[in-house]
Amino acid sequence: MRLILYYAPSFWFKTYKKILDEVPDSEMEETVENAVVVFYQAEEEDSEKKSSVISKFVKNVKWVAGKFNTKRIVLHSFSHLSMSKASPKLTDEIITDVKERLSRTGYAITETPFGYLNEWKMHVAGESLAKVFKEF
C-alpha cells in the first residue's frame, strides 16, 4: 500500500470519465473543506497482509488528521504510485474496511468515485506535515 496524505483547506473534485466497466455509474461534484486528502494505491502484495495494511492505513490517516484537528477525510484512488497494482476487488475490500473503521470513530468520509478519472483542485497547507508519503 502506498499513500500520499495532504492536509487541504479546500479540495474540489468532479467525475470526468468512467474507466472500469464493472463499477456503478456515478456523476459527482463536491468541495470538502478542512480535510485530509488521501491518494492511495493498493498493491498486489497487499492481499497477503490485508489486515495489517488496513490497520496502518487507518492509523496514518488518524495521525495526520489529528495534527490538523479535523475529522474530514477524502479518499482518492490514485494508481500511479507503484508499478504493482492490486485487483479492483482487493482494493474495494481494503477501502470498505478503512471507511468503516474511520466512520465508526467519528470521521466524515468523502470518496471520489472508484474506477473514474476525476478533475480536481486542491489547496494544500504549507506545513511540513501537510504532505506525507507512506509505504507499507
Average pLDDT per consecutive 10 residues, the chain (136 residues; last block may be shorter)? 98 96 94 98 96 98 98 94 91 97 98 94 96 97
| pTM more than 0.95 | no
The C-alpha atoms of residue 37 and residue 43 are separated, in whole angstroms, by 19
Q: What is the pLDDT of residue 75?
A: 98
Q: What is the pLDDT of residue 96?
A: 97
Q: What is the pLDDT of residue 82?
A: 86
Q: What is the pLDDT of residue 73?
A: 98
Domain boundaries, the chain: 2-135
How many CB atoms are closer than 10 A to CB 76? 20
Cell 467525475 belongs to which residue?
Answer: 15
Q: What is the pLDDT of residue 33?
A: 98
Q: What is the pLDDT of residue 47?
A: 95
- Of the options 3.60.40.10, 2.40.50.1020, 3.50.80.10, 3.40.50.620, the CATH number for the domain spanning 2-135: 3.50.80.10
Strand stretches in 42-99, DSSP E? 72-77
Contact criterion met (CB below 8 Å) for 63 and 25: no
Element (H, E) at 123: strand 116-123
Longest dimension (CA), the chain: 39
Q: What is the pLDDT of residue 83?
A: 85
